[in-house]
Amino acid sequence: MKEKILVTGGAGYVGSHIVVRLLNGGWRVVILDNLSNSHPAVVKRIQRVTGRTVDLVVGDIRDRLCLRRLFQEHSVRAVIHLAGLKSIRESELHPLRYYDHNLFGSAILFDEMINADVNIAVFSSSATVYGPTGCEKCKESATPAPINTYGKTKQMVEEVLKDLRRSNPKWQAAILRYFNCAGAHESGLIGENPLGEPNNLLPILTQVASRKRKRFSIFGSDYPTRDGTALRDYVHVEDLAEAHISALNGLLNGSPGWTINLGSGVTHTLFEVVRSFEKVSETKIPFEILDRRTGDLAECCADPTLARTLLSWEAKQNLDRICEDAWRWQKRNPWGYAHG
């Protein structure tokens, strides 16, 4: 059996898929999650999918005592750090909440890692660190210029990790900038289960398809793109999870770390996503076209070259597969994990 990995936010959407991959790869896992946007039933599902057990510590990354106890009770080799808040809109309304969870929470976690002599971290950053220009093929070398509080907190945590690396060469950190993560585990047992209003596209589409929501709102159909709607780079959550395992292995094999885009390098318009979803779900998605939202970009796409070179990773699943898996998850779990 391999060593133990702490996954903060491991009960959440991306985290639960990473935990499945870790367990299937022979790692032992402890999850730390305050369950503010997740359900404890995910642990049973993970166990059903993998046939392996996983420890869940219900707690907050801002709680030093909880972290101290966790590191005393579990011999952790590395941390995959996903815990945090992720709504751009909410971050604009409640910036302090975002600085508190995302920035201060991360600083407390890293400090307790130092106290526990754990110095390997994989961090979930985001394409939102890129500014409004140059997003056609974002390169990691571009100067970050986030335009919302959420993106700023991600960029600041990236800087904290880089400073830690500079302060002590023992620190190894992989900073992974996700593009639009979507899809679900192919078993239909694990998927995205937002507790409040969903922010991401696929949960909204699945809610419209299952008549929980009347229509899908498209903000802007006059962008300079092939059909006027915004272009985004969608990456399957299973592909994303696999990239974390590659990054973890790279760090454990001695790499000091890197900052890497996780995207497919291919973009789809909103209309293309709607059409793909209608095809695989055999449903009709009623939609309305509204004005553009401030801050939305015409296009956001990853340059995935560095991920290929450094992690030998590339996204394998296409848009139809993303929609198919998201729809299977929704059909089998109309109320998410609420019924266990």
The catalytic site residues sit at 150
Counting DSSP H helices and E strands in the chain, the numbers are: 12, 14
Minimum separation from the CB atom of position 45 to ligand NAD (A):
14
Exposed, middle or buried: residue 25 (CB in 10 Å: 0-12, 13-18, 19+)?
middle
Q: Is 144 in the site for ligand NAD (CB under 6 A)?
A: no
Q: Is 101 in the site for ligand NAD (CB under 6 A)?
A: yes
Nearest residue to ligand NAD by CB is: 12
Q: Is 11 in the site for ligand NAD (CB under 6 A)?
A: yes
Q: Is 61 in the site for ligand NAD (CB under 6 A)?
A: yes
Q: Strands 234-236 and 172-178, how do they pair?
A: unpaired
Pick 42 or 164: Cβ nearer ligand NAD: 42
Minimum separation from the CB atom of position 282 to ligand NAD (A):
26
Minimum separation from the CB atom of position 37 to ligand NAD (A):
4
**Residue from 43, 46, 57, 105 in contact with ligand NAD (CB under 6 A):** 105
Angle subtended at Cα 99 by Cα 98 and Cα 101, rounded to the nearest 5 degrees: 65
Q: Is 180 in the site for ligand NAD (CB under 6 A)?
A: yes
Interface of this chain with ligand NAD, residues 19 to 58, rule: CB under 6 A: 33-38
Q: Is 9 in the site for ligand NAD (CB under 6 A)?
A: yes
Q: Is 15 in the site for ligand NAD (CB under 6 A)?
A: yes
Q: Is 84 in the site for ligand NAD (CB under 6 A)?
A: yes
* Cα gap 308→322, rounded to integer Å: 21
* Cα gap 143→125, rounded to integer Å: 15
* Cα gap 228→157, rounded to integer Å: 35
Residues in binding contact with ligand NAD, number by CB under 6 A: 29
Whether 174 and 122 have beta carbons less than 8 Å apart is answered as: yes
Whether 121 and 81 have beta carbons less than 8 Å apart is answered as: yes
Give every CB contact of residue 114 below 8 A, 6+ residues apart in sequence.
none
Pick 34 or 276: Cβ nearer ligand NAD: 34
Whether 123 and 81 have beta carbons less than 8 Å apart is answered as: yes
Whether 250 and 311 have beta carbons less than 8 Å apart is answered as: yes
Q: What residue type is 106 in one-letter code?
A: S
Pick 137 or 232: Cβ nearer ligand NAD: 232
Q: Is 108 in the site for ligand NAD (CB under 6 A)?
A: no
Pick 100 or 278: Cβ nearer ligand NAD: 100
Interface of this chain with ligand NAD, residues 154 to 173, rule: CB under 6 A: none
Minimum separation from the CB atom of position 15 to ligand NAD (A):
5
Q: Is 82 in the site for ligand NAD (CB under 6 A)?
A: yes
Interface of this chain with ligand NAD, residues 240 to 259, rule: CB under 6 A: none
Q: Is 121 in the site for ligand NAD (CB under 6 A)?
A: no
3-state secondary structure 155-201: HHHHHHHHHHHHHCCCCEEEEEEECEEECCCCCCCCCCCCCCCCCCH
> Applying CB under 6 A, which residues contact ligand NAD?
8-9, 11-15, 33-38, 60-62, 82-86, 101, 105, 124, 126, 178, 180-181, 200
